[in-house]
Chain A
Amino acid sequence: MKKMTAAALVASALVSFSAAQAEELTIATVNNGHMIEMQKLSSAYEAETGNTLNWVTLEEGVLRQRVTTDIATKGGAFDVMTIGMYEAPIWGSLGWLEALDFGADYDVEDILPAMRGGLSEGGNLYAAPFYGESSMVMYRKDLVEAAGMSIRDMDSWGNVAKVAEAITGDGVYGVCLRGKPGWGDNMAFITTVVNSFGGAWFDADGNPSLDTPEWHAAINFYVDLLTSYGPPGSSGNSFNEILALFREGKCGMWIDATIAASFLEGDGSKVTGKVGYAQSPNATNPVGANWLWAWALAVPAGTQKADAAKGFIEWATSKSYIELVADANGWGAVPTGTRQSTYDNANFQAAAAFADAELSAILSAAPGATDVKPYTGVQFAAIPEFQEIGSEVGQLMSAALAGSMSIEDALAEAQAAAEAIMGN
């Protein structure tokens, strides 16, 4: 029965774009669970359209270097690229991507506004979100309650530190946070802390502003919190390392991507049902305390197969694809963070305990420029120089965390590095 519905859904989703002739599409993707699942389900798409799909599955960093090199040199190796929210606006404004414009069935208005905004440039949508995420607090309800404490939405950092102190001990580390160098690793989290302390990467004139009181306060707090109540070796931890710790019951609290919730509640986890969720804490500035990210599909400009490529993207990011996954694997396994209709679905609400927390985190994330920060992006700045700056600063912050450098020196050097890169 299930299979039949799935087939019917695929068929209906495909009617509109099965007219084009059979093509061979090469698709670069990131090796996340949702993407791997898409590869399996896409055989239905292939059967229906006659198109052949060649997958290139790579780890995030390798994918980024591969697709960037290819598109910048007009290599034409890929017909569909998986890119992030950082790339979409920059590449779009450089004219490297085809603008995406789908039919009424696609219901582009259904895509969450924050996602649409972050993937657009100059009014054109350049990449369609496959799944999206924000960040939130995940904490061990049982331990926090046993300590007679609580964590509220948008709590104060002070309270977070107190809770971390109270639940540390007995083989549990009070708080686990990212520390591994990289603009998508430690800097993603650290930037949200800095945002919440009122700091930003650049000032109103577009000059780097890393040696400011806000950055000092934020980094001091982060380093102090993590060295006091965090696990050993935090400067090597990113999402996966912490996930392994939290699932084994070794972390009391974790602020990271909302996608983590599905793993914490999933098979084999020792903390299923014991995890509470709350909106990210902030110190003074509620805007930008939780990040916003999407893995999205885009078509490089100039590909011969633009129509087929767009057709595939329309299929993969459609409502019916989400239903297809739900039919195959259940509503708890659908790619989230992209469409309002997913969150409106009663089945999804029932299957995903973290649905509300995730949706409000995404809705409250503000990627647009404000008077505090003159650039697009929450945990990054959507300018070409940012990757270079972010990876330098990421290394310096990991040195500060590991204690091999003082925070003052690290920030001074970060500022100098950023200025040098901007001055190039």
Chain B
Amino acid sequence: MSRTLSRLLQLPSIAVLLVWMLVPLSMTLYFSFRKYHLLRPHIQSWAGFKNYQNFIFARKGKGWVWELEFLDFLNVQWLTDLAIATPFATSFVTVIGNTLLLVGSVLFITVVFGLAISVLVNREFAGRGIVRVMLISPFFIMPAVNAIIWKNMMFDPIYGLINVIWTMFGAEPVPWLELYPLQGIITMVAWQWTPFAILIFMTSLQSEDREQHEAARLDGANFIQIFLLLTLPHLARAIAVVILIQMIFHLGVFAEILISTKGGPGSASATLTYEIYKKALEGFNYGLAAAGGVLAIILANLVSIFLVRFVGDNLAE
């Protein structure tokens, strides 16, 4: 194939994505420097950096406590202290922290569970097809439906199944989404995306050399050794794919939050995307939301640079 033809064939995809990126991005940049409130159409003027200032520095809360018991062992009080010590608004630090925690936790959970489950299922047995179907089904569920199921039927403090079982043993009902809101959201997202990890890992495991396993076993290697030395390296690329693709989706998680906790209590489960959503479609202050949008793009690119360093080489060689 000639170089010209190759360029010609690549052109459409590059061109449309360039337009898709640049046009909205430049408009968002423009709006972020404007006073633009949907319900105050008569105010049309430049805002300078006011929107950014309001989004990042606006107010200094006195004592937002980061309620993440599951991270107690890391002593996250320092996070709170840090948030208070910085010149940034506590709500801004909180949503950035929540976003990173959400993405990180979901990635960790889906990769670990995905690996464990796909290695477990990677054997011949009757009904394997059914098991596989059950395992990947959550991936096909709409995020809104996902949130409805978990909020009402699982986490509800009175009617939720988890609490019904919980209280059967005489325990007090626990308001899960009030005490562990971010963890609740993480559960929903991880439930939906672990199947995606399983899907990719199962596919990848099929091409693994079984004879090599047998040989290793005969040489006295135990299960863990085989997993670490043979399976894991074989899955390296699949893991990279799972991480990169999921990260893109999880930075934008918001339907689950909107329907289950609305970011509360306080900002305990609000992510940057949700915060922007709130400013744009609850407050209708679009200039402010646009400033948030620009910040979100910067954050996404920072995260992606970081990740591409680690997994990018694996992905497209």
Contact = CB atoms under 8 A, between A and B. Distances in A.
Q: Do chains A and B touch in the complex (CB under 8 A)?
A: yes
Interface of A: 61, 65, 68-69, 72-73, 90, 94, 180-183, 185, 231-236, 241, 244-245, 250, 384, 387-388, 391, 394-396, 398-399, 401-402, 404-406, 409-410, 412-413, 416-417, 420-421, 424
A424 B288 contact: yes
A410 to B, nearest CB: 8
Contacts of B59: 413, 416-417, 420
A421 B267 CA distance: 17
B296 to A, nearest CB: 19
A231 B157 contact: yes
Contact of A391 (B35, B54, B266, B283): B283
Given A236-B175, A384-B39, A409-B62, A424 B50 contact: yes
Q: 4 shortest A-B CB distances, which residue pairs?
A: A233-B175, A399-B266, A388-B283, A384-B39
Given A94-B39, A387-B39, A413-B61, 20 more contacts: A65-B281, A72-B41, A182-B262, A231-B157, A232-B157, A233-B158, A236-B261, A236-B264, A384-B39, A384-B40, A384-B284, A388-B285, A395-B266, A395-B267, A398-B265, A399-B266, A409-B62, A409-B63, A412-B61, A416-B61
Contacts of A396: 266
Interface in B231-288: 258, 261-268, 270, 278-279, 281-285, 288
Interface string B176-207: 11110000000000000000000000000000
A391 B57 CA distance: 19
Nearest to A185: B262
Given A231-B158, A233-B157, A406-B63, A399 B40 contact: no
A413 B264 contact: no
Contacts of B282: 61, 65, 183, 387-388, 391
Contacts of B285: 388, 421, 424
A397 to B, nearest CB: 9
B266 A398 contact: yes
A335 to B, nearest CB: 27
Contacts of A235: 175, 178, 264-265
B174 interface: yes
A180 B156 CA distance: 13
B192 to A, nearest CB: 21
Nearest to A245: B158
A306 to B, nearest CB: 21
Contacts of A410: 266
B60 interface: yes
Interface string B144-182: 000000010000111100000000000011111111000
A405 B178 contact: no
A68 to B, nearest CB: 6
Contacts of A231: 157-158
A181 B278 CA distance: 12
A241 B41 CA distance: 37
Contact of A424 (B54, B157, B173, B178): B54
B50 A402 contact: no
Contacts of B267: 395, 399
B61 A398 contact: no
Nearest to A96: B41
Given A387-B282, A391-B278, A405 B63 contact: yes
A405 B65 contact: yes
Interface string B53-77: 0100011111111010000000000
A387 B38 CA distance: 12
Contacts of A421: 283, 285
